Amino acid sequence: MKVSHRWFHAVFFAFLVLCIFSVCDLDATEQYARETGKGCTFCHQEPTGGPLATTGFAYIRNGYRYPIPERILDKTASLTTPLHKTIRFIVGYIHLLAAVVFFGAIFYIHIFVRPTRFSGGIPTHERILGLSCMAALIATGIYLTWFRIDRWEQFFDNTFGFMLFIKIVLFAMMIILGLTAVTFLHRKMRQEAAGSSGALSGEITGQTLGRYNGSEGNPAYVAVDSRVYDVTASPKWRGGRHFGKHTAGADLTAALKGAPHGSEVFENIPVVKDLQEGEAKDLKGTAHRIFVVFAYVNLALVFLILVCISMWRWGFTVPTPIAAEERPLSGTSCIECHGKTKPALVIDWKSSMHAKVGVDCYDCHRTDREGPMVNTVHLSNSPVPVATVVTPRRCAQCHPSQAEEFARSKHAHTLEIMWKIDFWLKDGMNNAVERNTGCYSCHGTEVTLVKGKPVAGSWPNVGIGRINPDGSKGSCSSCHTRHRFSIAEARKPEACDQCHLGPDHPQIEIYNESKHGTLYHAEGHQWTWTPEDSAWTAGRDFRAPTCAACHMSGTGPLSPTHDVTERIAWETQAPLTIRPQDFAPFPARTDWRTERSKMEQVCLQCHSSSWTGSHFENYDQVIENYNEVYYRPVRKLMDSLYDQDLLTRRPFFDEELEWEFYEFWHHEGRRARMGAAMMAPDYAWWHGFYELKHRYNAIVEKAEQLKKSGPSSLHDDFPGKYKGRSQGEKDQ
């Protein structure tokens, strides 16, 4: 049977509508991306979309109620295996396909056919199609709803759930009306069209015309301008259907006015009868009138369902019953109180993306009343249990991939790494006061709580490697300072310069000297730090990289990462330069070749392959020069002095040569290597290799003097020395 081009247009139109308005997990809204400055991986498990991550950020206000209960996390994790992802994709595809066909059929009937023309009942093919689509939508809809909704209250405490509930109710109404139409009303319309006898007779009237619909062996008659034609033998009316649009057994006078032809097409069609004025009156029985009403109600329901979908699709929030009840108990009361006592804090929050998407104080600070994190002092003033210390574990409820990446990075373990490299800082070189004001400010403390209140000395602290009371490591606010948590701030080099500076790791000074830093200081105020499409792109949004651009941001084919251990091919923090996977204090989990390739991709966004390749070749030569010409000879010399008992291994820094050797690799050696890596010639040479030469000669000269004079202890009691504790023992 031929298919009308209008039918194709109707289905295509419905498909476009469904694609635009559908709430498929494979797509996030452009508006949301502009508001958050985040790409697909901010909410989804994969860069190309796919299922939401464990706690998709979009669900804060338009999905899962925040914070996500553990049972939802467990359920989501179990349903994101490759098998379940495949099943969900297939089910979602069937659901979308059934919706396209079902809605397309409804639009087609109303736009091209008109419900009033189904006076003799609903054609068999339309009934089968409608019932099949309804069954598919019910089955797949139940599965998808079960996947999204964890508890009954979730239908009423957020916009997504509330709109989904209304959508389900509207669809249930459509199912009831549809089933009634294709069963009860269909039979009644057939009976009304066939007359009370239900059998063919020679007497044809407007009351009995519907019996002659060409089905079940019956002839096919149509009426036009009070004349009945027999179209049974016409090839264009096979089975009583005309191009899938018109059905025999009906008066087509009105339909002919919209056809591409006139009544001349009936000149060669046999005439069965000329109806009288009374007989020509088309039958419009009670069942038919009810069917027409049902058809238009269903059309209205379709538009209402699309309204529901569009509201969560484009982030139009509505007050929900449960959410409205809970607000006074959560963030609203916090803001009212702290707005008076700490106005700057509240102003910062109001300027944040958190505030724009409805994440308030309680969302981040909430905790269990009986949990170890609860601030008991706050409970004496408010019934709301809150935690003073907000940890990466709390941030992970909305930023799971970022928290996971950070947790495996050097940043999260920097307190541990410090003691493994510079153990003497805790065993003889400085005291607790000096560590708290110096080392711990960057590396972090081990926060201790007593009755929910942090102990002085372990708090306040936002060190990048802080060990939190809940067992998590790190502090997100080290880079995204509270309470604005700005992504633009974290992308600027100033976010790193609190810690990455000074004689031992002067990355910010090196960056400022480099051409990259020069361009940033000259033009950075004109760069776009939060582009609308969330893709922070070299050349378009910035002209030279910052720390984040090289080590963390998505660049070209690279996905963004919060693991700063990536993209590094040499470990310049170590005394002897080695590959990251060989760095004993914190071995990297990836191969250096893979990470070198990633960093090359960063460089290739602005530089040619020859420029990039030459830079890394030069850098590798710098590493070899430092290792073989400077460090290994001095290390060999120091070991010989220890072996001859001219130096004592413990305590460290009790002899002048130990100070010289420490600054040799920890200061000048790092500056030479890091300066070369980041193209800062002054640090690579004058503050690097030039000073290495001086220190090298000084060490050799003092070693010769030591061999002549014998062992000595020149710095056994230097100021601030920490006495009486062994290596690694904690301060109390």
The predicted pLDDT at position 713 comes to 61
User: HSE of 268 in the Cβ direction (CA atoms, 13 Å)?
Assistant: 4
pLDDT value at residue 41: 47
Cis status of the peptide bond prior to 493, with omega within 30 of 0? no
Most confident of 229-238, 373-382, 558-567: 558-567
Query: Which region, left, alpha or beta, applies to residue 80 given φ > 0 means left and ψ of -120 to 50 means alpha?
Result: alpha
Residue with the two structure tokens 């914190």? 586
What is the separation, in whole angstroms, between the first and last Cα of the chain? Answer: 88
Confidence class for position 316, pLDDT limits 50, 70, 90: low
pLDDT, residue 198, reads 37
Which are the contacts of 731, defined by CB distance < 8 A and separation ≥ 6? 432, 435, 457, 725
Q: Quick check: pTM over 0.75?
A: no
Mean pLDDT of 507-513: 97
CA distances from 92 to 50, 57, 139, 632 (A): 11, 21, 11, 62
Asked whether the CA dihedral 707, 708, 714, 716 is positive or negative, the reply is positive
8-12, 32-36, 89-93, 653-657 — which is least confidently predicted? Answer: 32-36
pLDDT value of residue 244: 67
The predicted-structure confidence for 452-498, as pLDDT tens digits, reads as follows 788 888 888 999 999 999 889 999 999 999 899 999 999 999 999 98
What Å distances lie between residue 114 and 61, 81, 108, 254, 295, CA to CA? Answer: 41, 47, 8, 11, 9
What is the per-residue pLDDT for 193? 59
- Contact between residue 50 and residue 44 where contact means Cβ atoms under 8 Å apart: yes
pLDDT digits (tens, 9 = 90+) for 164-214: 889 999 999 999 988 888 888 878 876 765 553 333 445 666 556 767 777
pLDDT score at 370: 78
Over range 32-45, report the average pLDDT.
Answer: 46
What's the CA gap between 46 and 43, in Å, rounded?
9
Query: What does the pLDDT read at residue 16?
Result: 46
Q: Which of 217-226, 243-252, 511-520 has the highest mean pLDDT?
A: 511-520
- The SS3 assignment for 123 reads coil
Phi-psi category of residue 186: left, alpha or beta, with phi > 0 → left and psi -120 to 50 → alpha: alpha
Phi first, then psi: what are they for 51, rounded to 5°? -60, 150
pLDDT above 70: residue 62: no
User: Tell me: the pLDDT tens digits for 572-584?
Assistant: 999 999 999 999 9
pLDDT at residue 247 in the model: 77
CA-angle at 580, arms to 605 and 696, nearest 5°: 100
- The separation between CA 390 and the C-alpha centre of its own chain, rounded to angstroms, equals 21
User: Would you state the pLDDT for residue 204?
Assistant: 65
- 557-562: which pairs have CB atoms within 8 A and are 24 or more residues apart? 557/601, 558/598, 558/601, 558/602, 559/41, 559/47, 560/39, 560/41, 561/405, 562/402, 562/403, 562/405, 562/406, 562/409
State the Cα torsion 508-511-513-519 to the nearest 10°.
-120
* Per-residue pLDDT reduced to its tens digit, 603-628: 999 999 999 999 999 999 999 999 99
Write down the pLDDT at residue 45: 46
CA distance 273 to 206: 11
CA geometry: angle at 615 spanning 609 and 620, to 5°? 125
Q: Confidence band (pLDDT; 50, 70, 90) for 284? A: low
